[in-house]
Amino acid sequence: MSGLTNEDLFRRGQAVMPGGVNSPVRSFRSVGGTPYFVARAEGPYVYDVEGRRYIDYVMSYGPGILGHAPPTVIEAIREAALAGTTYGAPTEGEVLMAEELCARVSGLEMVRLVSSGTEATMSAIRLARGATGRDKIIKFAGNYHGHADGLLAAGGSGVANQGLSGCDGVPAGAVADTVVAPYNVVPEIDESVAVVAVEPVAANMGLVEPAPGFLADLRTACTEAGALLLFDEVITGFRLARGGATEWFGVQPDLWCFGKVIGGGLPVGAYGSSHEVMAHVAPLGGVYQAGTLSGNPLATAAGLATLAALDAAAYTRLTATATRLADGMAAAFADAGVTAVVPRVGPLVGLFFCGEAPTDFDSADAAAANGVYPRFFHGLLERGVALAPGPYEALFPSLAHTDDIIDETIAVVADVAATL
């Protein structure tokens, strides 16, 4: 061991980085205590600098769908790195990645690769405004679409975890054209609306399922108003199913945003649409958007190796794993007399300490604010199971989480539930 401790690194980190971290939730603000600093990770496990091992359900909030450090992905990155890490000229990897995304998603004809989910949503909104000539956008409370100014209003986990209703530094003008509507209710959409952005399964206010018909009715309402429908699939894309939420729900949006899974653990995002809409993007059209590291060869190599492992059998397996986890946790809570719901949509799992599954941000927020989660979180962490350090995140079981690992997790959950 290196002799490093989490306490030491947290203290040093806080002196030179706000909160000691580079993304707010990692600082443990909403659960209290000292974050574990990761030294390495493998399969379903992360190891901290003190040598402690955790069964990991954070999985980088989504990218780790194959588990940590999957050999095929690591080998693809190694090979790509040996050929140079960035060129500023197009590569075969970008063509293959764009072909793979379009082949998987019905209606998706062209994509633009970027370097984060935030960049994808920010650029897709610009494209929607450019393509429609309209300014207004509608988003849903508790849906997170990254941290671009115009999308931060009522933004779910990242913002919610900090106990902030909005965000300092975002001028009123930047959100003047953003309308926030409650999730699971089709809003009034008039002819000033360029785009309605939605998480097809809300996974940044805990896990909140779309009500039956919500997405289909939203599709109809957008079509009638001439507004574009944007599925933010940065979490659901290639996790829910081979063709993402479009396949899962049988509803086709006009615009898609992807991230997380498609980067195989490297920084990546993508937005896409039909040929017609994408013709507005520079150099074809007047909507400018660019990136020094966009389509980065390491990221496309890692993403392609990840997607190559995600066939139909992988999704069946992932859903079985998530079902075992969700059912086992729910049973453990029931046995211990703890009021909790463990919502699941395919391979996506959530957790709320309340009696009924929340349907929107107000109900999710009420459940998250009752103070049970931090105690549960620390009980698990002490026993070697890492959940996200905040009550607004989903759980991310991966293909590396075997039935034995899930059963070990459920036993720990039962143990901790008995102390609540």
Active site residue 168: no
CB 307 to ligand PLP: min, Å: 17
Does residue 232 touch ligand PLP according to CB under 6 A?
yes
Q: For residues 270 and 41, what is the distance between their CA atoms, to the nearest angstrom?
A: 26
Active site residue 232: yes
Binding-residue total with ligand PLP (CB under 6 A)? 14
For ligand PLP, the closer of residues 229 and 332 by Cβ is: 229
For ligand PLP, the closer of residues 269 and 328 by Cβ is: 269
Structure tokens at 286: 């007047």
Q: Which of 104, 112, 129, 145 binds ligand PLP (CB under 6 A)?
A: 145
CB 391 to ligand PLP: min, Å: 16
Strands across the sheet containing 178-181: 110-114, 269-273, 255-258, 228-232, 193-198, 136-140, 178-181
Does residue 144 touch ligand PLP according to CB under 6 A?
yes
Q: Work out whether the CA dihedral 299, 305, 308, 314 comes out positive or negative.
A: negative
**Of 48, 54, 260, 373, which one is the catalytic site residue?**
260
Q: What is the maximal distance between C-alpha atoms in the chain?
A: 63
For ligand PLP, the closer of residues 148 and 216 by Cβ is: 148
Rule CB under 6 A: which of 19-38 touch ligand PLP? none
How many Cα atoms within 13 Å fall on the side-chain side of residue 284? 13
From the list 46-54, 139-147, 395-403, 408-416, the region that binds ligand PLP by CB under 6 A is 139-147
For ligand PLP, the closer of residues 365 and 372 by Cβ is: 365
Does residue 409 touch ligand PLP according to CB under 6 A?
no
Q: For residues 180 and 187, what is the distance between their CA atoms, to the nearest angstrom?
A: 9
Rule CB under 6 A: which of 178-217 touch ligand PLP? 199, 204
Q: For residues 199 and 184, what is the distance between their CA atoms, to the nearest angstrom?
A: 11
- Identify whether the C-beta of residue 247 lies closer than 8 Å to the C-beta of residue 106: yes
Taking only Cα atoms into account, the Rg of the chain, rounded to an integer number of angstroms, comes to 21
Output phi, psi for 363, to 5 deg: -70, -35
Does residue 246 touch ligand PLP according to CB under 6 A?
no
Active site residue 144: yes
**Of 48, 56, 232, 365, which one is the catalytic site residue?**
232
Q: For residues 206 and 395, what is the distance between their CA atoms, to the nearest angstrom?
A: 9
Residue 297: partners with Cβ closer than 8 Å, 6 or more residues away: 80, 83, 84, 85, 86, 87, 91, 93
- Identify whether the C-beta of residue 370 lies closer than 8 Å to the C-beta of residue 354: yes
Q: For residues 125 and 146, what is the distance between their CA atoms, to the nearest angstrom?
A: 12
Rule CB under 6 A: which of 115-134 touch ligand PLP? 116-118, 121
From the list 111-119, 171-179, 211-219, 271-279, the region that binds ligand PLP by CB under 6 A is 111-119
For ligand PLP, the closer of residues 183 and 333 by Cβ is: 183
Helix, strand, or coil (residue 193): strand
Does residue 235 touch ligand PLP according to CB under 6 A?
yes
**Of 54, 57, 61, 144, which one is the catalytic site residue?**
144
Does residue 234 touch ligand PLP according to CB under 6 A?
yes
Does residue 254 touch ligand PLP according to CB under 6 A?
no
- Annotated catalytic residues are 144, 232, 260
Residues making contact with ligand PLP (CB under 6 A): 116-118, 121, 144-146, 199, 204, 232, 234-235, 259, 269
